[in-house]
Structure 1
């Protein structure tokens, strides 16, 4: 997952935040980045590089097709993790929040095993993802 997220930004990000969720029969994968001190969704990468002085602006390919491929591969990886959990008779986390520090090559994760959104009539995985992004912004 880290590899595909790094490839998406051409290895040019400070931090990568990967959100994965599995609640009965639904897999969710999404990612946001810290680039030049700015936290951005995958479709906003170029917002983090515009207006920089003294540097050549990097132009990221954030086309819908590229975003769709990123999410597809992330979801496939999540399904493979679930398959391994079953293979080793382990519980599949309902939520994984992964933080990869690019410079330090360091990966940290937080895992949950209880239902997060499927037992709430109004809460969606996107709400959890956006809430995490706001929490990370606030704490940095």
Structure 2
């Protein structure tokens, strides 16, 4: 089943690389949250830059004096999210094709300096009427920021 694993890894790598492109490869760590639950696809991404944890629209807050500013236009951010969501759809198609369970949630962490990649998957549905995938993505950001994961 190497083919499935390779394709799955490629799609995850694509999510990381579009997030790296967003910050022009200038980040210490990249975090991608991807959710596919009950027909709803959702994604979010954030970073660790200069030891500061920042959401994608606030990456300039992490810059040191003199650092070149990032382009955080809505258009660029939406492009990244669109690609993440397309990759989630491709993962879903891949899982169907190989008769594998589709993760309902993926948390991807890429450490730029070491090249380490970590992924956590959930396969159960949250069935939470109040919390959306966006809430869960935000909670993960807070957890990472507070615990410096």
TM-score by length of 1: 0.93
Q: C-alpha offsets along residues 26-64 of structure 1, whole Å, 9 cap, x if unaligned?
A: 111110000011111110010111xx35xx222100000
Distance in structure 1 (CA, Å) of the matches to 2:74 and 2:146: 28
Aligned to 1:75: 85
Alignment partners' CA distance in 2, 1:103 and 1:5: 15
Whose helix proportion is higher, 1 or 2?
A: 2
Alpha-carbon separation, structure 1, partners of 2:121 and 2:128: 19
| 2-structure distance, mates of 1:108, 1:11 | 18
Please show how residues 1-140 of structure 1 align to structure 2 within 5 Å: 1-49=15-63, 52-53=64-65, 56-116=66-126, 119-140=127-148
Once the two structures are TM-superposed, the CA of residue 124 in structure 1 deviates from its matched residue by 1.0
Q: Note the residue ranges of structure 1 that are not aligned, 5 or more in a row.
A: none
For 2:118, what is the secondary structure of its paired residue? Answer: strand
How many Å separate the matches in 2 of 1:59 and 1:85? Answer: 39
| Match of residue 9 from structure 2 | none
Query: Deviations 1:52-104 (Å, cap 9, x if unpaired)?
Result: 35xx2221000000111010011001111111000000010000001000011
User: CA RMSD for the aligned pairs?
Assistant: 0.9
